[in-house]
A and B are shown apart, each in its own frame.
Chain A
Amino acid sequence: MPRINSSSELEKLRQGILANRDPQKPCITLCAGSACHATGSGDVAASIEAEIEKQGLSAAVDVRKTGCHGFCERGPIIVNHPEESCYFQIKPEDAPEIVSQAVKDKKVIERLLYTDPNTNEKIIYESEIPFYKNQERLVFGSNGSIDPKSIDDYLAIGGYSGLEKALSRMAPEQILEEIKKSNLRGRGGGGFPAGRKWEESRNASGNEKYVIVNADEGDPGAYMDRSLLEGNPHSVLEGLMIGAYAIGSHKGYIYVRQEYPLAVANLAIAIKQAEEYGFLGENILGSGFDFKISVHKGAGAFVCGESSALMTALEGRAGEPRPKYIHTAVKGVWDNPSVLNNVETWANVPLIINKGADWFTQIGTEKSKGTKIFSLVGKITNTGLVEVPMGMTLRDIIYKIGGGIPRGKKFKAVQTGGPSGGCIPENLLDLEVGFDELTKAGSMMGSGGMIVMDEDTCMVDVARYFIDFLTDESCGKCVPCREGLRQMLKILTNITEGKGNEGDIALLEELSEVAKEASLCALGTSAPNPFLSTVRYFRDEYEAHINEKRCPALSCKELIAYYIDPDKCQACMICARKCPADAVDGGKKKIHIIDQEKCTKCGTCFEVCPSRFSAVQKISGEPVPSPISEEKRIITGKSKEK
């Protein structure tokens, strides 16, 4: 690779790459992100490549393994260019048909198309599928079209032009002004204005300053940062470089979870390629600006997503937070000014520099500008990553993009903001997403996890789940968080096990208050949120658990029993055979009964009972009806036969 020393050389390189690319040349892009990989996209890629070779098309067709397309529910996904027809849930055995029909003969393969579950209509193009159609993919959009291992792919779509513009045509102060004007707010949780952080660091004294990418994405159910790093690492690097230039830093760190091996690998490749072209190193693009990046793998601690804890971890120590009377932007890593932003925040920077703050501020709401990537997961038809403009309503995200709740179930709540966030009930579904709007509703934006819950989800159990998570992840430094959460967990566990007492809710509220007031970092101060938001909107569920020993969602194991309705049971033996605990008694033509002593409440019988019978039921808050007599269990009549 040649070293690029100036703006004109960069432009020449870009033109050279584009000249060698024929947009009309057939190309199959295939999602190779972590989720599709888990569903077998690696095997699909291998079989498509083999098939192309077998049919003698190696020179005529390109195969590009891209990052995450976002529609994880339907993976592995391929898009056939230049027609742009897209196919879902591809298996290796589909390869011959794809190559001969779709690529060679340019025919549409009906059976692999997306079928709209509501209209049963087959849809050929990505842009017409509701999941994609209703999104606005500014940051995430290139993920599906470029190979993250190829810097040339990134350059071909205009990559590093933001860096070039910043270095050759803008003074650091101008960049800072532009970011401030754009009102770009931190995408990692807090929503703190990035420009203000940058300015503070720029004005801080000290020769050594750092810029840091926070890729310690710890919120369960959130994986947008991973997908960005895996699928478009250069966009994050470019943003980081621009930020470094603006604040006068020459050293950057990327703190990425070691649980994300593909992100770590793709980052290493991207850094190496950027160094080879001279976008990293000394005298970048002949501007005199020097910059280097190191990758630090996080060893697994949720609290390290907090800025001061992350910086302590970078120094090679246990990541405990410290008081921030002096901001980390002034005294951070080794007491030097350090700007820490989330992956998505950095990835927004090149866009703002390229297109200007005026363009950016047109998108979004008054106080929350731009777009946000959410990971829409849980009880939702279209699980995946979605990028929407700030201000879209939760209802539109869940129903228009997410396709609603599967299996005809009823929506109950959506949990946003990770463990520190909260649950938003149905009557607030028309809430517009934005930093302040979500906080007002008792939740928060967080990093963008959006977990949809249906009528089968118990809200007390959800609160218990998050408090359990946070108890485990508390670093132990502050007593209200370490001990308070432990007590909250104990009480919540008791409630879900039917051992709750009157006064428990008040006690939980009191503990919450103390943890909120007296913890040092955001983990402790926001830890009671899962409880506070569920008790705010679903108090009746808490009361049912405590007073009636009943779980309204029929989910808490200790409070439910499985029961076979003798009037509905057709003695088909399916549940008896599948029961792992051998708790179903019955035989052919003998109505089945669950032995409550043996039953482990795993729910297998409930799931396997054919829906046309629906004989297995869950009951809560009332005694299990006693079994019918032995004689009555024998099925004689014709009507009872299968």
Chain B
Amino acid sequence: MDNDRIDQIIDKHQSEASSLIQVLLAIQSENHWLPKEALKRISEKLQVPLTRIQHVATFYKAFSLVPKGQHEIHICMGTACHVRGATRVLDTVQDLTGIKPGETDLDFKFSLETVNCLGCCALGPVMEIDGKTHGKMAPGETADVLKSYE
């Protein structure tokens, strides 16, 4: 992500220090992670110390300080999904991809995250890949869905 684009995003948010989270969110959504250079640039432009940016970037779940894989897998661990067997879905995905929540595989193919509730409780257990919702998952179906992304 180049500085011009970062500057554009910052300008869109009126270059105010209070917009820090909104600026980071915009960069995260476009770039899928927050490179150190981007944080430095934001620090200069918004006049916010880099330590505070690091604090914010590590405090909130939406931000990643490492690059993400090609496909982002989100397993819903909300209560409704939990009582309907979300752990089994997570176990299957971990077995098949070899990564744990928060990790990305060496080929940058998959990143795995758990989320607290996707609000599709009628479909639980739910797995979301690249924004597409896959509902009523059991270990068998989970494996089938994952294969379709390979």
Candidate in B17, B24, B56, B139 with the most chain A CB atoms within 10 angstroms: B139
Q: Within the complex, what minimum Cβ distance (angstroms) separates A448 from chain B?
A: 13
CA distance A608 to B135 in the complex (A): 18
Inter-subunit contact B17/A316 (CB<8 Å)? yes
Candidate in B24, B48, B116 with the most chain A CB atoms within 10 angstroms: B116
Closest to A468 in B: B77
CA distance A500 to B121 in the complex (A): 32
In the complex, whether A297 has a CB less than 8 A from a CB of chain B is yes
Closest to B124 in A: A377
Would you call the interface of chain B mostly helix, strand, loop, or mixed?
A: helix
CB-CB under 8 A from A462, the residues of chain B are: 82-83
Which residues of B in the span 32-61 have a Cβ within 8 Å of any Cβ on A? 48, 52, 55-56, 59-61
Which of B2-10, B65-73, B88-96, B103-111 binds A? B88-96
Which of A124-132, A218-226, A242-250 binds B? A218-226
CB-CB under 8 A from A58, the residues of chain B are: none
Q: Report B107-150 CB contacts with A as 1/0, cut-off 8 Å.
A: 00000000111111111101000000101001110010000000
Inter-subunit contact B56/A318 (CB<8 Å)? yes
> Contacts A301-B60, A316-B19: A378 and B83 contacting too (C-beta < 8 A)?
yes
CA distance A39 to B119 in the complex (A): 13
> Contacts A299-B21, A318-B56, A465-B79: A222 and B140 contacting too (C-beta < 8 A)?
no
CA distance A600 to B117 in the complex (A): 26
Closest to A314 in B: B18
Inter-subunit contact A384/B122 (CB<8 Å)? yes
In the complex, whether A337 has a CB less than 8 A from a CB of chain B is no
Q: Within the complex, what minimum Cβ distance (angstroms) separates A68 from chain B?
A: 10
Which of A393-401, A449-457, A484-492, A542-550 binds B? A449-457
Inter-subunit contact A317/B83 (CB<8 Å)? no
Which residues of A in the span 9-62 have a Cβ within 8 Å of any Cβ on B? 34-35, 38-39
A35 is contacted by which of B16, B25, B77, B122 (Cβ under 8 Å)?
A: B122
Inter-subunit contact B60/A299 (CB<8 Å)? yes
CB-CB under 8 A from B140, the residues of chain A are: 578, 580, 604, 608
Inter-subunit contact A300/B62 (CB<8 Å)? yes
In the complex, whether A75 has a CB less than 8 A from a CB of chain B is yes
In the complex, whether A603 has a CB less than 8 A from a CB of chain B is yes
Inter-subunit contact B116/A218 (CB<8 Å)? yes
> Contacts A72-B121, A72-B122, A604-B140: A302 and B79 contacting too (C-beta < 8 A)?
no
Q: Within the complex, what minimum Cβ distance (angstroms) separates A405 from chain B?
A: 12
Inter-subunit contact A607/B83 (CB<8 Å)? no
Q: Within the complex, what minimum Cβ distance (angstroms) separates A293 from chain B?
A: 15
Inter-subunit contact A299/B119 (CB<8 Å)? no
Candidate in B19, B24, B60, B84 with the most chain A CB atoms within 10 angstroms: B60
CA distance A601 to B6 in the complex (A): 48
CA distance A223 to B119 in the complex (A): 5
Closest to B61 in A: A300
A38 is contacted by which of B56, B78, B120 (Cβ under 8 Å)?
A: B120
Q: Report A120-149 CB contacts with B as 1/0, cut-off 8 Å.
A: 000000000000000000000000000000
A379 is contacted by which of B61, B84, B92 (Cβ under 8 Å)?
A: B84
Inter-subunit contact B139/A226 (CB<8 Å)? no
Inter-subunit contact B61/A301 (CB<8 Å)? yes
Inter-subunit contact A580/B143 (CB<8 Å)? yes
Q: Within the complex, what minimum Cβ distance (angstroms) separates B94 from chain A?
A: 11
CB-CB under 8 A from A219, the residues of chain B are: 117
Inter-subunit contact B121/A604 (CB<8 Å)? no
B139 is contacted by which of A223, A301, A475, A602 (Cβ under 8 Å)?
A: A602
CB-CB under 8 A from B95, the residues of chain A are: 580, 600
12 more contacts with CB within 8 A, not counting A38-B135, A299-B21, A299-B61, are A35-B121, A38-B126, A72-B120, A72-B122, A221-B78, A297-B25, A318-B55, A377-B121, A377-B122, A379-B83, A469-B116, A580-B139
Ordered nearest first, which 7 A-B pairs have the shortest CB separation?
A300-B61, A223-B119, A299-B60, A220-B78, A377-B121, A72-B122, A38-B133
Interface of B with A (CB < 8 Å)? 16-22, 24-25, 48, 52, 55-56, 59-63, 77-80, 82-85, 87-88, 91-92, 95, 115-124, 126, 133, 135, 138-140, 143
- 8 A-B pairs, CB-CB below 8 angstroms? A72-B122, A73-B122, A297-B25, A299-B24, A316-B21, A377-B80, A378-B83, A600-B95
